[in-house]
Structure 1
Amino acid sequence: MLRGELEKLSSTDDLTGLGNRRQFEQHRAQLEPGDAVLLIDIDHFKRVNDTSGHAAGDVTLQVVAARIRGVLRRSDRAHRHGGEEFTVLLRGVGETFLLEVSERIRQAVSAGPVPGPDVTVTVSIGAAILTGVNDAGALERADRALYRAKQQGRDRTCLARPEGAAGPVPG
């Protein structure tokens, strides 16, 4: 029993209750082609800390984590990647479903103010579908798509194009 508790402590983010980066890496190693990774960043999070204080920032992180978790399937895995960034790993999704989940997350996060600091936050999301077993480049592609979502005005999802693919990319 102690070993199980220690394993949970070593793989869980204390603040949000989501998996931590260590757990993310373990889950990512189990992904297969057709699975997907979302990289989620709270827009203008520094403003929350600067105007309302770090305690309000912590509450915001907890609320955002709960709202993300609340729209996922049981097979999906959410993690706090670091700071105000989260990752979600989705099993067996196509592009359409991936974008639907991203939109549900985006809407859930901005659905109302965060209690306490009474601020409404939005998220930008970068998404990538794995093209091969242990597709190490998927997270990097999702990160580039996240950067594009930020450049295009935030509060949106951008889908990464698989390496070498041509054509337009949604978002």
Structure 2
Amino acid sequence: MNVAQTQLQNSGWQQALVSSIEVGIVVVDKSFVVEEWNQFMQNHTGHDVANVRGYSLFNFFEDLDKDWLINKCQPVFEMNTPVFMIWEQRHYLFKVGTARPVTSPAEYMYQNISIFPIADDSGNVERICFLVYDVTDHAMSKQRIEGLNNRLKEISRVDGLTQLFNRRHWQECFEREYKLAIRHKKPVSVLMLDIDHFKKVNDTYGHQAGDAVIQSISKIIKKATRETDIAGRYGGEEFVILLPDTPAESAFTVGERIRKASEKTVVTHEDSEISVTVSAGIAEFSPVYKQPLVWLEAADQALYEAKNAGRNRVIVTASAAE
């Protein structure tokens, strides 16, 4: 067998290998003109090698960021150094459909990309090779796990009935805000709120009706507070709201907004219409509160005073108002 026949035979099995491998192989020159395009790329892009070879890569992928890719490939050409990209950095290089469009939840193929220099006999890099790995299943699995972890984290922080923060998480936020208040010396207020005569609601209409009332008040609280405010269910029919950058006077306005909206709200449960009111106590942060719990107890004391004064009212603790 002569040299030409041997080269031809070697070329044949090499071509067969390149065509059958389950990895995308794309070879381009310095102008990003395609020189090699294997079967994997043909199958997933719909572009035949005969139609792609000899043309710029950018002709076939309009959403491919030309400037970004040229910059990314620069060290491969100039420094003879490979470059790698994982799907977490960029979901894909070539936007193509998934290998299993019917069963896969992904809209497109997630890809890991390796870019290798191809040097000639003189060591000059005149072309580079893209290796395209389909990592869609791995990406979907990781995203599902992350989604479940985020959901579990959210569940651990949120009260199931009201969708406000639960007591444990709210307490953590409160203690952190207490430390910030000492350091930054900005006005911060805490509002404690309670549904008036709630036991009577449960005794008269049942616990499901009581839950409906709690949910109704929680919606009013969400509507009356800002994104930066931290509202939680403290226990039973009691709620707490942390109001950063808010002096007692402004917190009183928030409390009145909630009180008036609650007073006007009628909760319909089965054939019953239930009206309730709320009472609230407010304490603005003061350095005299040496512990977070002391600050919270000041708001609780103001709430107690609101109850004793006839309910359906908002009272600011005297020490916070001074």
Q: 2:300 corresponds to which residue?
A: 143
> Does the alignment pair 1:101 with 2:258?
no
> Does the alignment pair 1:120 with 2:268?
no
Q: 1:68 corresponds to which residue?
A: 221
Aligned-pair CA distance for 1:30: 2.5
Q: Which residue of 268, 279, 284 maps to 1:129?
A: 284
Q: Is the 8 A contact 1:68 1:108 kept in 2?
A: no
Gaps of 5+ in 1: 167-171
Superposition pairs of residues 18-167 of structure 1, within 5 angstroms: 18-31=164-177, 32=181, 33=185, 34-116=187-269, 117-132=272-287, 135-162=292-319
Provide the secondary structure at the position in 2 that maps to 1:18: coil
Using the aligned pairs only, state the percent identity.
40
Q: Is the 8 A contact 2:162 2:233 kept in 1?
A: yes
Q: Which residue of 13, 35, 44 maps to 2:159?
A: 13
Q: State the distance in 2 between where 1:98 and 1:54 align.
A: 31
Q: Is the 8 A contact 1:149 1:155 kept in 2?
A: yes
Name the amino acid aligned to 1:156: R
Post-superposition Cα deviations, 1:85-108, rounded to whole Å, max 9, x if no partner, equal 000110111222111111001111
Post-superposition Cα deviations, 1:111-133, rounded to whole Å, max 9, x if no partner, equal 22112241111001010011148
Return the TM-score normalized by structure 1: 0.90
Aligned-pair CA distance for 1:134: 6.1
Q: State the distance in 2 between where 1:64 and 1:115 align.
A: 13
Q: 1:169 corresponds to which residue?
A: none
Q: State the distance in 1 between where 2:251 and 2:273 align.
A: 30
Post-superposition Cα deviations, 1:125-168, rounded to whole Å, max 9, x if no partner, equal 010011148643110000111100000000001111338x87xx
Q: State the distance in 1 between where 2:239 and 2:264 align.
A: 18
Gaps of 5+ in 2: 1-145
Bigger mean CA deviation after superposition, 135-144 or 147-156: 135-144
Name the amino acid aligned to 2:156: S
Structure with higher RCO (Cα < 8 A, 6+ apart): 1
Q: Is the 8 A contact 2:248 2:282 kept in 1?
A: no
Q: State the distance in 2 between where 1:87 and 1:159 align.
A: 14
Provide the secondary structure at the position in 2 that maps to 1:29: helix
Q: State the distance in 1 between where 2:202 and 2:279 align.
A: 18
What is the aligned residue count?
A: 165
Post-superposition Cα deviations, 1:17-58, rounded to whole Å, max 9, x if no partner, equal 110001111210222251111110000001111110111001
Q: Is the 8 A contact 1:124 1:155 kept in 2?
A: yes
- CA RMSD in angstroms comes to 1.7
Aligned-pair CA distance for 1:64: 0.7
Aligned-pair CA distance for 1:110: 1.4
Q: State the distance in 2 between where 1:96 and 1:61 align.
A: 26
Q: Which has the larger radius of gyration?
A: 2
Return the TM-score normalized by structure 2: 0.49
Q: State the distance in 2 between where 1:134 and 1:11 align.
A: 23
Q: Is the 8 A contact 2:190 2:283 kept in 1?
A: yes
Q: Is the 8 A contact 2:220 2:261 kept in 1?
A: yes
Provide the secondary structure at the position in 2 that maps to 1:162: helix
